[in-house]
Amino acid sequence: MIKRLSELVPTERRWLAKAVVAIILADGIVEDQQIKFMKRLFRQLLGEEPQDTITEIKNLLRKKEIPELEKLQVGNLDRLIFILDVLTASVFANGKKLKSEVDKYFEVGRKLGLEVGTLSYRLSLEAERERVKRKLTEMKGEIGEFLRIA
């Protein structure tokens, strides 16, 4: 199982960076949480990339220009699943699931050759994970409040 972006081949890393930008820019707004998400991701994803790739990504973000993506053939199932995990996390980078970002996610996923059912299932898993994360945060706050009172 792939755990690090460095295990992707350079073509996959560049494609994934553009795909994440496409999903995040789908609504035309880049929020602080999304910037933090991209900085963490791109630090790992583009750390060894040529400067022209990094400049291209920065320009896309600065201009809020959604990149055109070509189809990508990923020959390794572990790498494909890892790429899909990053794409689904991109949809929730701002803590919300916006229709425009979901639509772009499906468009991008189809460029990987994935079926709508597979993409929907993975997106629903990520939505549930986000819901649980919010509930845990809420519960921690309530427990902290209770302990301060008691």
- CA dist 21 and 30 (Å) reads 10
Q: Which domain holds residue 42?
A: 5-149
The angle subtended at Cα 97 by Cα 96 and Cα 100, nearest 5°, is: 125
- CA dist 53 and 124 (Å) reads 32
Proportion of the chain above pLDDT 70, given as a percent: 93
pLDDT at 73: 93
Residue with more model confidence, 143 or 101: 101
Contact 69, 77 (CB under 8 A): no
**Does the CA dihedral 47-50-51-55 come out positive or negative?**
negative
Mean pLDDT of 113-127: 91
- Residue owning tokens 């949809």: 91
- CA dist 95 and 97 (Å) reads 7
Mean pLDDT of 120-134: 87
- Whether pLDDT at 43 is above 90: no
Specify the number of domains making up the chain.
1
Residue with more model confidence, 29 or 119: 119
Per-residue pLDDT reduced to its tens digit, 47-91: 666 677 778 888 888 888 899 999 999 988 999 999 999 999 999
- State whether residue 89 is helix, strand or coil: helix
Per-residue pLDDT reduced to its tens digit, 91-100: 988 888 889 9
- Whether pLDDT at 7 is above 90: no
Instruction: Count how many Cα atoms sit within 13 Å of the Cα of residue 97 in the half-sphere of its side chain.
Output: 17
